[in-house]
Amino acid sequence: MARLAVSAPIGPVTLRLVDALLAAVTTVAVLTGTARLDARLDAAGALPLALWLGLLLLVRRRWPLAALLLSVQAVVVFRTSGLTDAGWVWPVSAAYATLAADDRTDRPGLRWATGVGLAELACAATWETTAEGAMPREVLGTLGAEALWLAVLLAAAAAYRNRLRWRAELDERLARTERERTLEASRRIAEARLEIARELHDVVGHTLTVVGVQLRVAAEALDDSPQQARTALTTAQQTRTEAVRDLRALVLVLREPQDKGPDDPAAGALEVSVLVDRMRSAELDIRLETSGDLGAVPAPVSLAIHRIVQESLTNTVRHADASRADVSVRCGHGRAEVSVSDNGRPPAETHPAPPGHGVRGMDERVRALGGDFSAGPRGEESGWVVRASLPVPRFPA
């Protein structure tokens, strides 16, 4: 996808060159226009006026109103003093356009330009009508042409100002869209990293726990019951193979995120019984109770059920020092209920430990699917209980 482009501002050197060029053009235009209108062109009238109007344009960006007022004042002074016969409005066209096109919201440039223009036209009308030998038709034609030129000039400047504002709003929208897109990408990356962290924690933690349990069983039974030791080692080897497969699938997703691949068939609600059998040992008796059609549970909920049971039993083996654990998975009436409890030692009452990565991961999984999650002591009885309730849309009763 192509990146959104935002127009780059013009550099200060370029702006100074434009101002210098416009000042030179204005000076030449005033002199040329005066000559073509058969007006007086001398060193004491049109020339200093043209130079003064050009010099004022060099500061038009910083002080547009002052540049226009000083330009209009110069034209009025030179005309009423009889030093030049140049026009009233057109010699100041660049100053009018600069002020009227000012797109800054705190500068009402168009209103100021309109007011100054009307004041100049009023001064011109007063001077022209009271001048000796003035012809009404000629005065009307001159002032009409000046007024028409002022209107066209202000309209063009206003259109240019509106275009600048439109471009600024468009650039702001594009920049805001780009920022939102960047934030969304960052959010997706954070969610992906969190999902990867949960999967790694569940897979690696569960694998090491099961392998550790089976190796301990094999070590204890090696002399007295070689067959039991061989069975424990086989279970550990199978667990290791499944963990390697899961890690390879996760690495494949990381390398090719657009191809998530099929769901893991060994991580679902139907495989909870296999998981329980693998975790069961002589030191820990695990009892499983299921109800409902586990095969009809949607894949995301089915995976969450498996991971909750997996992580809960892993924590029981690691931390609880329990002799019994009860696992319950019930599906029906639009809900999937999971409960894992044990009779292990209670947590420290004075300095309870904060939730680990596993508990946080289970909570995040459940809440991402719109469910409820809790984990804590069993109350008056010793042990720990994990409960999760997940919605299952259109699940059969």
Whether the per-residue pLDDT at 1 is higher than 50: the answer is no
Are β-strands 335-342 and 285-291 bridged in parallel, bridged antiparallel, or unpaired? Answer: unpaired
- Give dist(CA 346, CA 358) in Å, integer: 18
CB 320 within 8 A of CB 311: no
pLDDT, residue 6, reads: 44
CB-based contact 187:291 (threshold 8 Å):
no
Tokens of 41: 């062109």
pLDDT at residue 348 in the model: 53
pLDDT at 200: 65
35 vs 175, which has greater pLDDT?
175
Range name among 19-28, 302-311, 385-394 with the lowest pLDDT average: 19-28
List phi, psi (to 5°) of 123.
-65, -40
Task: Find out whether 85 and 40 touch, Cβ atoms under 8 Å.
Answer: yes
| Homologous superfamily assigned to 268-346+353-397 | Histidine kinase-like ATPase, C-terminal domain (3.30.565.10)
Distance CA 171, CA 178 (A): 10
Radius of gyration for the alpha carbons in the chain, expressed in angstroms and rounded: 43
Cα separation, 240 vs 208, in Å, equals: 8
- Strands 285-291, 324-332: pairing kind: parallel
| Nearest by Cα to 161 from 81, 100, 95 | 100
Q: What confidence score (pLDDT) does residue 83 get?
A: 78
Phi, psi at residue 5, to the nearest 5°? Answer: -100, 135
User: Which pLDDT value is given to residue 394?
Assistant: 64
Average pLDDT, the chain: 77
Q: What is the mean pLDDT of residues 98-118?
A: 80
Q: What are the E-state strand segments in 206-270?
A: none
Q: What is the pLDDT of residue 5?
A: 45
Phi, psi of 249 (to 5 degrees): -65, -40
Task: Give me the residue spans of the domains in the chain.
Answer: 12-134, 268-346+353-397
163-209 confidence digits (pLDDT tens): 888 888 888 888 888 888 888 877 776 776 676 666 666 666 666 67
What is the model's pLDDT at position 302? 86
Asked if residue 43 has pLDDT above 50, the reply is yes
pLDDT at residue 257 greater than cutoff 60 = no
Q: How confident is the model at residue 351 (pLDDT cuts 50, 70, 90)?
A: very low
Between 12-21, 194-203, 380-389, the lowest mean confidence (pLDDT) is in: 194-203
| Alpha-carbon distance values, 266 to 84, 203, 314 (Å) | 97, 12, 17
- Helical axes 93-100 vs 12-36, angle rounded to 10°: 140
Percentage of the chain modeled with pLDDT above 70: 75
Q: Over the stretch 148-157, which tens digit does the pLDDT of each residue have?
A: 888 898 888 8
Nearest in space to 300 (alpha carbons), one of 391, 239, 198: 391
Helix (H, G, I), strand (E, B) or coil at 73: helix
**Which pair of tokens denotes residue 35?**
């000559």
**With contact defined as beta carbons under 8 Å apart, do 344 and 382 qualify?**
yes
Q: What is the pLDDT of residues 83-103, one digit of tens each?
A: 777 778 888 888 888 888 876
Residue 350 has pLDDT above 50, yes or no: no
- Residue 328's pLDDT is 94
- Report the pLDDT value the prediction gives residue 386, as an integer from 0 to 100: 93
Residues 336, 330: contact at Cβ < 8 Å? yes
> Residue 205 is encoded by which pair of tokens?
């933690």
Query: What are 288-291's contacts with CB under 8 Å, separation 24+?
Result: 288/327, 288/328, 288/329, 289/326, 289/327, 289/328, 289/329, 289/330, 290/328, 290/329, 290/330, 291/329, 291/330, 291/331, 291/332
Mean pLDDT across 306-311? 88
Whether 63 contacts 112, CB under 8 Å? no
Phi-psi region of 230 (alpha: psi -120 to 50; beta: other; left: phi over 0): alpha
pLDDT band at 108 (very low <50, low <70, confident <90, very high): confident
pLDDT in tens, 135-146: 777 778 878 888
Say if residue 349's pLDDT is above 50. Answer: no
**The pLDDT of residue 354 is above 80:** no
6 or 99, which is more confident? Answer: 99
- Confidence at residue 38, expressed as pLDDT on a 0 to 100 scale: 62
